[in-house]
Amino acid sequence: MKKVLTYGTFDLLHYGHINILRRAKELGDYLIVGLSTDEFNALKHKEAYHSYENRKLILEAIRYVDKVIPENDWDQKIKDVQENDIDIFVMGDDWEGKFDFLKDYCEVIYLPRTVGISTTKIKHDLFSVKK
């Protein structure tokens, strides 16, 4: 069985998230998602609308996702790859090169982002003042 791992906050879920999860799952048989905890998001100065538990519940309902694990810090990725016997690590291409250190442990693939959508864009569109 080929196992795939990706990470993210997955807040305000949108079709770009679904696209990366689908494409990640297509690379293997079993997809694990490392989901940023609320505490880790606070360290990154990133605020999620939904709590970790609610984001986990949403991800677990998506047919492409087989398992959700907590992402507690930047440094856990090697351990996660080893402990979960990961074959392929996947991230969006906005992270290109940032996780190449994992190539000693598994294949690393950066997938193109879905054009025209992001959580940042949704927040901007929802909260910008229309004149």
Number of neighbouring beta carbons within 10 Å of residue 104: 9
**Would you call 93 helix, strand, or coil by DSSP?**
helix
Given the residues 46, 79, 98, 121, the one annotated as active site: 46
**Can you read off the two tokens belonging to residue 44?**
């990154």
Given the residues 3, 25, 44, 130, the one annotated as active site: 44
CA gap 73, 102 in Å, rounded: 16
**Can you read off the two tokens belonging to residue 111?**
């997938």
Known catalytic residue at 103: no
- Amino acid in the structure at residue 37: T
Known catalytic residue at 67: no
Catalytic residues: 44, 46
